Amino acid sequence: AGFSSVNIFLSLYRFQACVYFASVFQAMSCGIHYLASVFMAVTPNFVCGIPGNVSSVLFFNSSESSIEDIWTLWTSIENYIVVQLENGEVWELNQCSRSKREVSLDLAYEYKGNKSVFSCSDGFLYDDTKWKSTVVTQWDLVCDREWLAKLIQPTFMLGVLIGAVIFGDIADRLGRKRVIWFTSAGQFVFGIAVAFTFDYYSFVIVRFLLAMVSSGYLVVAFVYVTEFVGIKARTWASMHVHAFFAMGIMIVALVGFLVRTWWVYQIFVSIATLPFVLCCWMLPETPFWLLSEERYEDAQKVINIMARWNKVSTPCKVSELCSVQHDLVSGRTGDNDMSSTKKHNILDLFCNWDIARRTITVWLIWFTGSLGYYVFSLSSVSLGGNEYLNLFLIGAVELPCYIVACIGMDKLGRRNTLIPFLILSALICVLIMVIPQDFNILIILANMAGKFSIGVAFGLIYLYTAELYPTIVRSLAVGSGSMMCRVGSVVAPFCVYLRSVWIFMPLLLVGIMALLSGILTIMLPETLGKPLTNTLVEATELGRNKKSCSGKTPPAHSGAALEKIEMFGQETVNTEK
């Protein structure tokens, strides 16, 4: 019912629907690149290379003619393989060393005599039954180089963090359209380039650039679709950007199952970007950003195009909607109205106590959502079974949580949905800690419930952040929030490592953060059914506090007038019906 309602509503806006689905299609590529390393950088079973031709292989009581036949019996990294060479030498092959037996009269698995230990100077032998090639096997990222493999995902997430801030700020300065053009083309170019990197360091550098443009696109796309769709469809439209991201995760699982060579796999997952790259140049700039930059003629052109697509016979006039020209021209002669023309930076998110408190709370929610999401995801490996199916289900389980989030936001409001799910996440963490370890099924179900609840909060905060801040810093606010989100995703693996200190330490940290975030969210204003604000003055008024950055009472009509731009097509269609 939820999906049908949004489809019916978007069908009334043919222009907005086309722009929306074109933009969110590219979000699948973001999901793909974020999770691509799950299979691309996997470390298979391996042992030291053999210094000669093998005549026989022994693993416990099993004797085989080749090492390839042994991998199905491999159970632990503590295992070793005994091989006899054609010259009669007997070697024990471990993962990071190899030993030559001094006495080699007979071939036996157990040996108590003297051995000479050597390094793996002849490379390594890898289990290729699942993957023919990974970046780990191509550049031998094992043993003393294992730390390089562990840096692949953190460096990618660092690129995501930096890209979120940089492109969020650029989108506020140069416009949403230009950033969407650049980042979508960058995803395709850097995605293909990753497959043709010649060593580990070039691979990491290109992946870092890929992370920056992927993060930049995702941040700006949220703002872009939020500013284009009407107020009634905004919840469903923005939330289902996450659904397309989740579909990207499912595509990773499917391609990973079908393609087992890492560079071919990377090319296939990158091709998903191509259709959007070929048509993204047709996307228009948002009227909200054009009006904030006082480009009234350009804004009117976009509105006229929207009217033609939506079959509106008498398109609205910007001047008739809100008298923007008169207000802003007179404002330029005032003492404190330079906020509409000055260049904004991250300090504007702390321009007064109300906005600063709002920013700190929002950042904490972003961090907690990402931290909890990845901690619960890493815990889900206990489900067992097929790893490709598990990843597919991890992506699929996000879809119902976004539907629940949309219904809750529309019926209860953004804040009133966010608070209970954050607190529920904390309670589930406590529940998992008290469930006996023998109750595996219950623990798995509780972990999935925790991921579901934190997923609702994680998905909701994107839209909520965009609605809490005005047009002039909206991309910057979402971008900085996404930065805190990426900090959480970088911290999450280290949080999981704390299991060695205490098995429930990760859950304890997530629970505390979720509870604190839920309590602080009570102080945020509700944005359900309210028009987007255009200035920091109006954003402060949204918090019902007359004290603002300029110290003057905001013009309440400007944001509402801008809202009419996104709603006029619906009103006219209803009249025609």
* Res. 8: pLDDT tops 50: no
* Res. 11: pLDDT tops 80: no
The pLDDT-based confidence of 368 (bands split at 50, 70, 90) is: very high
> Mind listing the pLDDT tens digit for each residue in 442-495?
877 787 888 889 888 887 887 788 888 887 777 788 778 877 887 888 888 778
> Mind listing the pLDDT tens digit for each residue in 381-420?
556 667 787 778 777 888 888 888 888 887 888 889 999 9
Q: How far apart are CA 546 and CA 550, in angstroms?
A: 10
* Residue 100 DSSP SS3: strand
Q: How far apart are CA 122 and CA 487, in angstroms?
A: 40
> Is there a contact between 398 and 456 (Cβ–Cβ < 8 Å)?
no
Mean pLDDT of 248-269: 88
375-381 long-range Cβ contacts below 8 angstroms, 24+ apart: 375/492, 375/495, 375/496, 375/506, 375/507, 375/510, 376/447, 376/448, 376/450, 376/451, 376/454, 376/510, 377/451, 378/492, 378/493, 378/496, 379/447, 379/496, 379/506, 380/444, 380/447, 380/448, 380/451
* Res. 179: pLDDT tops 60: yes
Of 3-17, 64-78, 512-526, 552-566, the least confident: 552-566
Pairing of strands 90-93, 98-101: antiparallel
The pLDDT-based confidence of 190 (bands split at 50, 70, 90) is: very high
What does the pLDDT read at residue 544? 60
> Is there a contact between 451 and 396 (Cβ–Cβ < 8 Å)?
no
Q: Could you tell me which residues come within 8 angstroms of residue 306 by beta carbon, excluding any fewer than 6 positions away?
A: 15, 16, 312, 315, 569
Alpha-carbon dihedral of residues 256, 260, 262, 265, nearest 10 degrees?
-50
* Residue 397 DSSP SS3: coil
In Å, what is the CA distance from 353 to each residue of 269, 356, 464, 526? 45, 5, 19, 18
Two tokens, residue 109: 């698995």
> Is there a contact between 10 and 16 (Cβ–Cβ < 8 Å)?
yes
What does the pLDDT read at residue 77? 66
Residues listed for the chain: 577
Q: How far apart are CA 477 and CA 475, in angstroms?
A: 5
- Of residues 14 and 421, more confidence is placed in 421
* Res. 307: pLDDT tops 80: no
> Mind listing the pLDDT tens digit for each residue in 316-360?
666 655 554 444 444 444 444 444 445 667 777 787 777 888 889
What does the pLDDT read at residue 329? 42
Question: pLDDT exceeding 70 applies to what percent of the chain?
Answer: 81
> Mind listing the pLDDT tens digit for each residue in 286-296?
777 787 777 77
* Res. 149: pLDDT tops 90: no
Of 77-81, 144-148, 218-222, 499-503, the least confident: 77-81
> Mind listing the pLDDT tens digit for each residue in 35-77?
888 888 888 888 888 877 777 787 776 666 667 767 777 766 6
The pLDDT-based confidence of 364 (bands split at 50, 70, 90) is: very high
* Res. 5: pLDDT tops 80: no
Of 18-22, 66-70, 141-145, 240-244, the least confident: 66-70
What does the pLDDT read at residue 208? 94
* Res. 309: pLDDT tops 90: no
pTM above 0.85? no
> Is there a contact between 260 and 131 (Cβ–Cβ < 8 Å)?
yes
Q: How far apart are CA 444 and CA 438, in angstroms?
A: 11
- Of residues 546 and 303, more confidence is placed in 303
> Is there a contact between 13 and 572 (Cβ–Cβ < 8 Å)?
no
What the chain holds in terms of domains, given with CATH numbers, is 46-129 (no CATH), 349-543 (1.20.1250.20)
* Residue whose token pair is 């991998």: 71
Q: How far apart are CA 358 and CA 335, in angstroms?
A: 27
Q: How far apart are CA 371 and CA 385, in angstroms?
A: 25
- What would the DSSP string read from start to end of 157-202? HHHHHHHHHHHHHHHHHH-HHHHHHHHHHHHHHHHHHHHT--SHHH
Mean pLDDT of 511-521: 92
Mean pLDDT of 227-255: 79
Q: How far apart are CA 273 and CA 25, in angstroms?
A: 9
Which residue, among 127, 77, 190, 386, has the nearest Cα to 136 in the 3D structure? Answer: 127
- Residue 62's H or E segment, with its range, is strand 62-64
What does the pLDDT read at residue 43? 83
What does the pLDDT read at residue 557? 44
What does the pLDDT read at residue 342? 58
**Average pLDDT of the chain to the nearest whole number:** 77
Q: Could you tell me which residues come within 8 angstroms of residue 92 by beta carbon, excluding any fewer than 6 positions away?
A: 80, 81, 82, 98, 99, 101, 111, 115
Any idea what DSSP says for residue 282? Answer: G
